[in-house]
């Protein structure tokens, strides 16, 4: 080994360190804008003005009426890891401010032409600081209004490799606008304005309450489809607004979650918000959610990433349960059906419903037991029974429902294509998908049974035999207990055959073998890491589909009323378990527009 020669390892220059750090904190104009806005909020600003040029690529200007900085503080603000938010290591365990790392301004000073003007209210004059590409800052006294102004010009002018990755002005502006929306929702007590060139893109005045700010920022058309929700678990609390299941997006971009006043991107929280909508949304669709979580600062770690977008919770499962449970509870009453004159079938309503349905009350009560026949006709004759002797359901066909009779949804007009039940409710036309409604009712019943210990099973008089492949046979060995919970009882019969001795009550025995194989396949795909409760709901939705009245089946008036009576007692009754709508309303004015009467 040769000694005395210069080594390869050396300490990086401060300029290079600053540029590397800037790459972690400032990715694009939007992230620079976000850092400046958070500084303004931490400074107690009540009004913040933002100006962008060229999507923020050539200029980002943020001015506020916050507490301002002294000469000494202004000079230190562009020094890495200089901050007023932390003083000792223990402060990291209970962070209450948005910023705390002391990196943002230093990073911007390293990769832009930075100018800052600041004045405290108690001072007669302010101070101006300029810094270009990390060079030594220049400071001079200047007349200024109380508060702070920051200009970031020519972002990444001295790091061409980073600058070439910036997108078009329109794309960068869109990203910046997204951050303005998040910050505006985060701070309803602060006026926020955003201009691009001469265009005013956002003007959010100080709001009297959170709902008012949501209406201004997201727009009235969206706000009309939002509903408040809240929940609490000891010193953990959540509140906010959730959208109708019909108000969907193709990505989770409009799922806004704030933790102690900080916008975060957290997979646990996003999953919790979506879990509250479970079985209400079709695949690949996402809701609009604005959720605000409040918990003790020491219970959440925000010092995870330089951009402070990720967090860790001391009790992640508790947070997940609180958020998902609160969203689900608020959605259970289908609040989106309560607009205008629409009658809402709520569980809390008296059994008689509105006056228009009073005449049907006694009939519903007398015929509620006949609801069993509705389910029976959709699934076959009761078990146990001999499958060899099984034929079509023995029940005699029922006459079509009588039009003109009053129901809980208004005057029953008939069934369209023996699939969509049609009602006249005052000035509205109501259409109900009979299969989707019965599917939701059946699903909720199965889910209640599963949570209570297992789906109600009916024993087969004549066992069914199935010969699965090796993968499905292995799935059976692994998930036999879960199959039992779902209402199936089976056992190996030889090396390659499974004998099914019981199936979920309500499943047509002629279809039980095929359903069993389907469920076995889904369990095989489950693996060891997927959440069983979520996967179970998907399987129960499949079982509910098999056990529900089909499109094209004729229902009697008593069966229609029995369905509506069950609807009143069922959570999430406005959507089938696959997320499709159960009911829709058309106003008289909408119908008249079709015929050019308006």
Query: DSSP character for 240?
Result: E
Q: Which residues pair with 114 in a beta bridge?
A: 131, 152
> Which residue, 240, 233, 242, 257, is CA-closest to 318?
233
Contact in structure between 385 and 502 (CB atoms under 8 Å): no
Query: DSSP character for 308?
Result: -
Quick one: pLDDT band at residue 381, thresholds 50, 70, 90?
Answer: very low
Largest Cα span, the chain: 103
> Which residue, 485, 480, 476, is CA-closest to 447?
485
pLDDT of residue 523: 86
pLDDT by residue (tens digit) across 110-155? Answer: 899 999 999 999 999 999 999 998 787 789 999 999 999 999 999 9
Residue 413, C-beta contacts closer than 8 angstroms, at least 6 positions apart: 403, 404, 422, 423, 424
> Which residue, 392, 393, 390, 376, is CA-closest to 462?
390
440/446 Cα distance (integer angstroms): 10
459/454 Cα distance (integer angstroms): 14
504/386 Cα distance (integer angstroms): 16
For 14-86+97-204, give the CATH class. Answer: alpha beta
Quick one: pLDDT band at residue 351, thresholds 50, 70, 90?
Answer: very low
| Strand boundaries in 260-310, DSSP class E | 262-263, 289-294, 300-301
392/171 Cα distance (integer angstroms): 61
* pLDDT cut 90: percent of the chain above it: 48
pLDDT of residue 102: 55
Contact in structure between 583 and 448 (CB atoms under 8 Å): no
Query: DSSP character for 44?
Result: T
291/226 Cα distance (integer angstroms): 12
Fold of 457-504+507-546: Ribosomal Protein S8; Chain: A, domain 1 (3.30.1370)
Instruction: Take residue 547 and report the two structure tokens written for it.
Output: 């056990």
Query: DSSP character for 581?
Result: B
Instruction: Take residue 542 and report the two structure tokens written for it.
Output: 């499949």
Please report where in the chains the tokens 């995870």 appear, as a residue.
Answer: 304
pLDDT of residue 361: 30
Mean of pLDDT over the chain: 81
Query: DSSP character for 550?
Result: P
* 225-332: in CATH 3.40.50.1360: no
pLDDT reading at 395 higher than 50: no
126/133 Cα distance (integer angstroms): 23
11/304 Cα distance (integer angstroms): 25
Q: For the chain, how far is it from start to end, CA to CA, in angstroms?
A: 95
Q: Which residues pair with 150 in a beta bridge?
A: 62, 116
> Which residue, 536, 366, 562, is CA-closest to 570?
562
C-beta neighbour count of 351 within 10 angstroms? 13
pLDDT of residue 24: 53
**What 3-state class would DSSP assign to 221?**
helix
pLDDT of residue 448: 92
pLDDT reading at 25 higher than 80: no
Query: DSSP character for 244?
Result: -
- Mapping DSSP onto H, E and C, the string for 323-334 reads HHHHHHHHHHCC
pLDDT reading at 342 higher than 80: no
pLDDT by residue (tens digit) across 56-80? Answer: 999 999 999 999 999 999 998 888 6
250/261 Cα distance (integer angstroms): 26
Quick one: pLDDT band at residue 199, thresholds 50, 70, 90?
Answer: very high
pLDDT of residue 267: 84
For domain 355-443+552-594, the CATH superfamily is MutL, C-terminal domain, dimerisation subdomain (3.30.1540.20)
C-beta neighbour count of 217 within 10 angstroms? 22
Q: Where are the domains positioned within the chain?
A: 14-86+97-204, 225-332, 355-443+552-594, 457-504+507-546
pTM of the predicted model, to two decimals?
0.68
Please report where in the chains the tokens 């207990």 appear, as a residue.
Answer: 481
Quick one: pLDDT band at residue 397, thresholds 50, 70, 90?
Answer: very low
pLDDT of residue 7: 65
pLDDT by residue (tens digit) across 269-301? Answer: 999 999 999 888 887 889 999 999 999 988 888
Contact in structure between 126 and 88 (CB atoms under 8 Å): no
**What 3-state class would DSSP assign to 504?**
strand
| Strand boundaries in 467-588, DSSP class E | 489-492, 498-504, 583-587
pLDDT of residue 308: 57
Please report where in the chains the tokens 């405290």 appear, as a residue.
Answer: 120
144-148, 206-210, 331-335: lowest mean pLDDT where?
A: 331-335
419/67 Cα distance (integer angstroms): 65
| Strand boundaries in 273-427, DSSP class E | 289-294, 300-301, 312-313, 406-407, 410-416, 420-425
> Which residue, 456, 458, 454, is CA-closest to 480?
454
């Amino acid at each position: 080994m040769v000694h005395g020669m210069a080594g390869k390892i050396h300490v990086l220059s401060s300029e290079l360190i600053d540029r590397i750090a800037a790459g972690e904190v400032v990715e694009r104009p939007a992230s620079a804008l976000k850092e400046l806005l958070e500084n303004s909020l931490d400074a107690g600003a009540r009004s913040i003005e933002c100006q962008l040029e060229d999507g923020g690529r050539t200029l980002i200007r943020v001015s506020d009426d916050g507490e301002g900085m002294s000469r000494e503080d202004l000079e230190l603000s562009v020094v890495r890891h200089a901050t007023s938010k932390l003083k000792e290591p223990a402060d990291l365990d209970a962070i209450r401010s948005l910023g705390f790392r002391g990196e943002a301004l230093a990073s911007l000073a390293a990769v832009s032409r930075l100018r800052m003007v600041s004045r405290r209210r108690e001072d007669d004059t302010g101070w101006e600081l300029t810094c270009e590409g990390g060079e030594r800052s220049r400071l001079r006294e200047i007349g200024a209004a109380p508060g702070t102004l920051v200009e970031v010009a020519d972002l990444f002018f001295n790091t061409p490799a980073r600058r070439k990755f910036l997108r078009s002005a329109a794309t960068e502006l869109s990203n910046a606008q997204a951050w303005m929306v998040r910050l505006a929702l985060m701070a309803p007590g602060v006026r926020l304005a955003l201009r691009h060139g001469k265009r005013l893109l956002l003007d959010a005045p100080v709001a009297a309450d959170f709902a008012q700010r949501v209406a201004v920022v997201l727009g009235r058309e969206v706000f009309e489809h939002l509903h408040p929700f809240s929940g609490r678990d000891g010193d953990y609390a959540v509140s906010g607004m959730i959208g109708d299941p019909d108000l969907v997006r193709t990505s989770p971009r409009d799922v806004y979650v704030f933790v102690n006043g900080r916008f975060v991107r957290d997979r646990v929280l996003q999953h919790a918000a979506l879990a509250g909508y479970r079985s209400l949304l079709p695949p690949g669709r996402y809701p609009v959610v604005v959720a605000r979580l409040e918990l003790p600062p020491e219970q959440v770690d925000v010092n995870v990433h330089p951009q402070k977008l990720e967090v860790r919770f001391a009790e992640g499962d508790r947070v997940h349960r609180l958020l998902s449970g609160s969203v689900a509870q608020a959605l259970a009453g289908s609040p989106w059906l309560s607009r205008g004159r629409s009658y809402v079938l709520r569980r809390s309503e008296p059994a008689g419903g509105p006056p228009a349905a009073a005449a049907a009350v006694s009939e519903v009560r007398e015929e509620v037991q006949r609801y069993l026949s509705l389910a029976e006709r959709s699934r076959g004759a009761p078990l146990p029974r001999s499958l060899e002797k099984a034929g079509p359901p023995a029940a005699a066909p029922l006459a079509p429902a009588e039009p003109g009779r009053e129901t809980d949804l208004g005057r029953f007009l008939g069934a369209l294509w023996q699939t969509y039940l049609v009602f006249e409710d005052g000035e509205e036309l109501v259409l109900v998908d009979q299969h989707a409604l019965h599917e939701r009712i059946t699903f909720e019943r199965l889910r209640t049974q599963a949570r209570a210990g297992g789906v109600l099973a009916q024993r087969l008089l004549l066992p069914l035999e199935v010969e699965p492949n090796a993968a499905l046979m292995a799935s059976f060995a692994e998930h036999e207990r879960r199959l039992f919970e779902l209402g199936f009882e089976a056992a190996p019969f030889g090396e390659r055959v499974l004998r099914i001795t019981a199936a979920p009550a309500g499943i047509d025995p002629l279809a039980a073998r095929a359903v069993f194989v389907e469920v076995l396949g889904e369990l095989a795909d489950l693996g060891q890491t997927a959440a069983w409760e979520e996967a179970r709901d998907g399987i129960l939705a499949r079982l509910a589909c098999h056990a529900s009245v089909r499109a094209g089946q004729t229902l009697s008036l008593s069966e229609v009323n029995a369905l509506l009576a069950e609807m009143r007692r069922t959570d999430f009754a406005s959507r089938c378990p696959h997320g499709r709508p159960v009911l829709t309303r058309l106003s008289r004015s909408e119908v008249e527009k079709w015929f050019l009467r308006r």
